[in-house]
Structure 1
Amino acid sequence: MIYITRRESFNAAHKLARPDWSEDENTAVFGKCANPNWHGHNYQLFVTVKGEVNPETGFLVDLKWLKQVINKHVIDKVDHKNLNLDVDFMKGKLASTENLAIAIWDILAPHVGESGAQLHCIKIYETDNNYVEYFG
């Protein structure tokens, strides 16, 4: 089994707040991330796939193809967007990095599977110090 990772970047705004809570309750739980005027991050997305190397190509997957899949189904939808308001696959979800990683997994797993590989991990750096890893 071999693993290969593709990194992509995107910039997005979001707010962590539950609509059924007061502003004070949201601030108590989510701190500055509950700012009513939103805030943004320069996210780094790492998509790791696993499987066996194709003896004809020497590839697990064609990274150009993987880049296109990630961009079409994720980056084009989130880059320079508001995760809470503009992103269809985040509608009705708290826009945490954890929930974002799960949503991206759910979107990419079937596409990666079509290649004969398996999705292994979604890793998202929200900041230099904070990241989430999701293994499905």
Structure 2
Amino acid sequence: MQTAYFGRRYMLSASHRLHSDALSDEANRKTYGKCNNPHGHGHNYVVEVMVGGPVDSNTGMVVNMATLDEVVQTSILQRFDHTNLNLDPLFVNQVPTTENLCRAVYTVLRDALRTCKLEYVRVEETENNFFQFEGD
């Protein structure tokens, strides 16, 4: 079976505070710097989703773009856009770093996608910082 790939980018805005209960206040400030601000801070994230699979002989597609958009909209954007990530149940026991956000988006999408394989998720936090997760 030959695999083809399709990628799509989405935007979401969210805030977070990088703070670990396992560290002292001083260690948190030293580890996370300005990102440890008690009031949090926000980002305009770009989430890139790459899926793969065989090209359907009837449609000529790996996945219908509208189907992928619907899955991302309902499972990722509605959940995370314009929220405080610290308040999401996925981050109750972990620091909502963008590394962990990337892993969380991957896990949620992997479980929601039925018609293709999720290859990776890439999250751009700033124009200089990006993170990628390819699963287990």
**TM-score, normalized by length of structure 1?**
0.93
Q: Does 1:95 align with 2:96?
A: yes
What is the rounded CA distance, in whole Å, between the counterparts of 2:91 and 2:50 in structure 1? Answer: 22
Is the 2:75–2:112 Cα contact (8 Å) retained in structure 1? no
SS of match in other structure, 1:84 = helix
Structure 1 residue 92 displacement after superposition: 2.0
Is the 2:20–2:94 Cα contact (8 Å) retained in structure 1? no
Alignment coverage as a number of residue pairs: 133
Percent of aligned pairs sharing the same letter = 34
CA deviation profile, 1:13-61 (whole Å, cap 9, x unmatched): 0011112322211010111111111000000000100111001001100
- Unpaired segments of 5 or more residues in structure 1? none
What is the rounded CA distance, in whole Å, between the counterparts of 1:28 and 1:125 in structure 2? Answer: 24
| Pairs within 5 Å for 1:102-113 | 102-112=103-113
- Unpaired segments of 5 or more residues in structure 2? none
Structure 1 residue 65 displacement after superposition: 0.7
1:30 maps to what in 2?
A: 32
Runs of 4+ in structure 1 off by over 6 angstroms are: none
| Pairs within 5 Å for 1:112-123 | 112=113, 114-115=114-115, 117-123=116-122
What is the rounded CA distance, in whole Å, between the counterparts of 2:122 and 2:21 in structure 1? Answer: 27
